[in-house]
């Protein structure tokens, strides 16, 4: 998948880019099936017999409100799923990233492959304004890394799609100065890095409305946040971070799996 010059100029100026239909309906269906199977495996008494995925995801909302440990367990287990990782390492995705980062495909490393499920009116896991660099410190230079963000459902302002600060990648923001406001350690609660309003006010906010299978790409130093899901459905997204490992600012980070202890 090649880039045209207008796309290159756009991401250089604004720090993000939209590619339509980067993954197809089969990939989306397969990923939804993964979630369904994990739900049924870890809570068969609750999910068995729910065949239509929209019904199943509505039931996840009910379960999260009553048994949040089970939903955390399902979420954590999915992150290592082979289908998830295979979709996010498609040749066309790698080719696209290598072109945007101006490096060979063989020079790329990846981290943080994930599936997110953002629930209506969620306050535990919604991510406020941050830089991806704060979480993934592989490169000191934010433009030497790229985030891939692909919704599996149509996303809009109503269900809390991603919001971007246009041009913030050019703002010389030092991610090391954006300290964590919520620390890791509380089960089911996302770590947060705070960004001062004085910094946010410098850049225009853009809400990205995408169809299922579209992709938002943005630099590791582009300010972004989760929107507020005020709908009645779960927003489901997959994503990954790619890094130019031949960049002078690249840091070798050893990925060591950590086990989360669950009582049930």
Where are the extended beta strands (E) located within the chain? 16-19, 108-118, 145-151, 162-165, 180-182, 192-193, 205-207, 215-219, 224-226, 235-244
| 41 occurs within a structural domain | no
Tokens standing for 152?
């599996």
Output the pLDDT for position 62.
Answer: 61
User: Could you give the 3-state DSSP secondary structure of residue 107?
Assistant: helix
Q: 163 pairs with which residues across the strands?
A: 207, 225
Q: State residue 60's pLDDT score.
A: 59
pLDDT, position 2: 74
Q: What is the CATH number of the domain that holds 214?
A: 2.60.120.620
Place of tokens 């980062």: 101
Q: What is the DSSP letter of 117?
A: E
Distance of CA 174 to the CA centre of its chain: 21
User: Which DSSP letter does residue 105 get?
Assistant: G
Distances (CA, A) of 101 to 89, 126, 239: 16, 28, 17
CB of 222 closer than 8 Å to CB of 216:
no
37 within a domain of the structure (yes/no): no
Under 8 Å CB-to-CB from 96, ≥6 apart: which residues?
Answer: 1, 3, 19, 22, 217
What is the three-class DSSP state of 245? coil
| pLDDT tens column, 173-220 | 776 666 665 544 444 555 667 788 888 999 999 999 999 999 999 999
| Pairwise CA distance, residues 118 & 61, whole Å | 10
Domain count for the chain:
1
In a domain, 205, yes or no: yes
Both structure tokens of 230:
């005020």
Each of the 264 residues of the chain gets a pLDDT tens digit; together they read 678 899 999 999 999 999 999 999 999 999 999 998 898 888 777 666 555 455 556 655 666 666 677 888 889 999 999 999 999 999 999 999 999 999 999 999 999 999 998 988 887 778 889 999 888 888 888 899 999 999 999 999 999 999 999 999 998 877 666 666 554 444 455 566 778 888 899 999 999 999 999 999 999 999 999 999 999 888 999 999 999 999 999 988 877 777 776 765
Q: At what angle do helices 53-66 and 68-78 cross, to 10 degrees?
A: 130
The DSSP bridge partners found for residue 19 are: 215
What is the token pair recorded at 65?
A: 């409100």
**CA-wise closest residue to 180 among 137, 214, 146:** 137
The pLDDT of residue 184? 45
Q: How many CA atoms lie within 13 A of 203 on its CB side?
A: 26
Other beta carbons within 10 angstroms of residue 263's beta carbon come to 5
Prediction pTM value:
0.89
Q: Quick check: is 63 in a domain? A: no
pLDDT digits (tens, 9 = 90+) for 72-100: 888 999 999 999 999 999 999 999 999 99
Task: Give the domain extent around 201.
Answer: 5-24+88-244
Please check whether residue 235 lies inside any domain of the structure: yes
The count of other CB atoms within 10 Å of the CB of residue 7 is: 17
Q: Does residue 50 lie within any of the structural domains?
A: no
The answer to whether position 190 is within a domain reads: yes
pLDDT, position 80? 94
**80 in any annotated domain:** no
């Amino acid at each position: 998948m090649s880039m045209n010059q207008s796309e290159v100029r756009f991401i250089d100026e604004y720090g993000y880019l939209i590619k339509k239909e980067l993954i197809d309906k089969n990939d989306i269906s397969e990923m939804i099936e993964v979630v369904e199977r994990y739900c049924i495996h870890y809570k068969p008494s609750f999910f068995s017999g729910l065949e239509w995925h929209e019904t199943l995801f509505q039931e996840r909302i009910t379960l999260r409100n009553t048994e949040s440990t089970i939903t955390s367990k399902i979420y954590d287990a999915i992150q290592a799923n082979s289908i998830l990782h295979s979709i996010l390492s498609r040749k066309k995705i790698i080719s696209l990233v290598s072109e945007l980062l101006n490096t060979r495909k063989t020079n790329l490393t990846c981290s943080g492959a994930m599936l997110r499920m953002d629930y209506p009116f969620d306050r535990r896991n919604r991510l406020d304004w941050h830089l991806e660099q704060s979480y993934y410190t592989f490169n000191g230079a934010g433009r030497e890394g790229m985030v891939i963000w692909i919704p599996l459902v149509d996303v809009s302002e109503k269900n809390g799609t991603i919001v971007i600060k246009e041009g913030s990648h050019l703002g010389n923001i030092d991610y090391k100065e954006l300290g964590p406001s919520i620390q890791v350690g509380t089960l089911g609660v996302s770590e947060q890095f705070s960004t001062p309003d004085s910094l946010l006010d410098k850049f225009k906010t853009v809400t990205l409305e995408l169809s299922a299978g579209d992709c938002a790409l943005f630099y590791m130093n582009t300010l972004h946040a989760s929107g507020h899901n005020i709908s009645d459905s779960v927003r489901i997204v997959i994503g990954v971070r790619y890094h130019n490992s031949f960049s002078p600012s690249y840091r070798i980070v050893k990925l060591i799996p950590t086990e989360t202890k669950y009582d049930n």
